Amino acid sequence: MSVNQTNSTLDVITTELNNNLDEIISWRRYLHQHPELSFQEKETAKFIEEKLVSFGLEVKTNIGGNGLLGILKGSKPGKTIALRADFDALPIDDEKEVAYKSLNPGVMHACGHDGHTSALLGTAQTLSKFKEHIKGTVYFIFQPAEETPPGGAKFMIEEGVLDSVDYVFGAHLASEIPLGKVAVGEGYKMAAVDKFEIIIEGKGGHGARPHESNDPIVIGSDIVSALQKIVSRKIDPLKSAVVTLGVFQSGNAFNVIPDTARLEGTVRTFDSEIRKDVKDHIHSILKGITEGFQATYKIDYLLGYPALFNHKKETDIVRKLFQETFNEGAAVDLETSMGAEDFSYYLQEKPGTYFRVGAQNESESTHYPHHHPKFDFDERALLNIEKAFVKIVSHYLF
């Protein structure tokens, strides 16, 4: 297809996307009212399946749990491009006063996954009407359980969702980026995330006779202090790492020394060697301190998502495509973050890139951070996700 023919087809597709925006928004609001937690998204999966079937796509279900794959085969052979959306929610009470407020107490789409799903469904709906222009195949990956390690991506990949894929792309709404901007960037952009739980086993007793006990709170306090020195004294200062303790629980009476203490925390890194070093240092500190106090410990250390690495070639292509689709200044730099995202698993397997789509407007309602109980976004950003995905598909398959 010539450049002029491609542009003409894209103009028609863009008109179709614009005309369908109200329907896409209605899907998003329905999903927002009916959120489901990670690994529990059965009704959401049914909703997605019904839509994909209605578009005339081949649909595979129950991939890696509740995951789905919609397959759009073009009129001629060619590359296979995968586009991914996640669809799980978070254990948060929805505090917004809107008509589409969550109907499931304690569960909320507080990270935009309802929007990702609706936008990818809209992309599939529209592209299915133009398959005669497609030279190759588009995979629409709908992934569960992004919010909960080890994550849905890992299980979907293990069941072969990427086996025939040449390139993979993912988008995420961003309440910190203005509407109309799209953030792209190469290299490591999100951190590996690990979780640990530590049980300190001491010996309880009366608070007035501490010498007869072995206080797990005191031992745990030393461990907390020592763990905070890993980054400052054991890691190359030119490399990044975070060790954070988020839970320290022990005892239930002011005058009783408890038997045990429980600590939970997270480790964030980019470099795989640093990731291993931090884990080793944690084990070494636990062993040394507990042995010094004649106590024992147990640790459950979960290796979560790997660091997200955007491939240079595909990122450069996407940046140029977005400048063409939106405007010259639309593509802004994607800031590196210690947050985590299991799209990293896809990028370990196939070349591609992950980008963030601005969803903030002048209203304060769109300024809340992700995972906040009042999180919301400008729904026009759904159209920008669709345009971004369509432009990527046109580059590789038109």
Catalytic residues: 88, 146
- Cβ pair 264, 195 in contact under 8 A: yes
CA atoms within 13 A on the CB side of 263: 26
Q: How many angstroms separate the CA atoms of 219 and 240, rounded?
A: 28
Cα(115)–Cα(32) distance, rounded to whole angstroms? 9
CA distances from 79 to 238, 374, 386 (A): 40, 41, 20
| 385 phi/psi in degrees, rounded to 5 | -60, -45
Find the helix packing angle between 113-127 and 42-54, rounded to 10°: 20
Helix axes 312-325, 381-397, angle to 10 degrees: 120
* Residue 34, token pair as written in the block: 């009916």
Residue 120 CA to residue 68 CA, distance in Å, equals 12
Which residue, chain included where needed, has tokens 């049980």? Answer: 199
Residues in the chain: 398
Helix and strand element counts for the chain (H, E): 10, 16
Asked whether the bond before 150 is cis by omega within 30 degrees of 0, the reply is yes
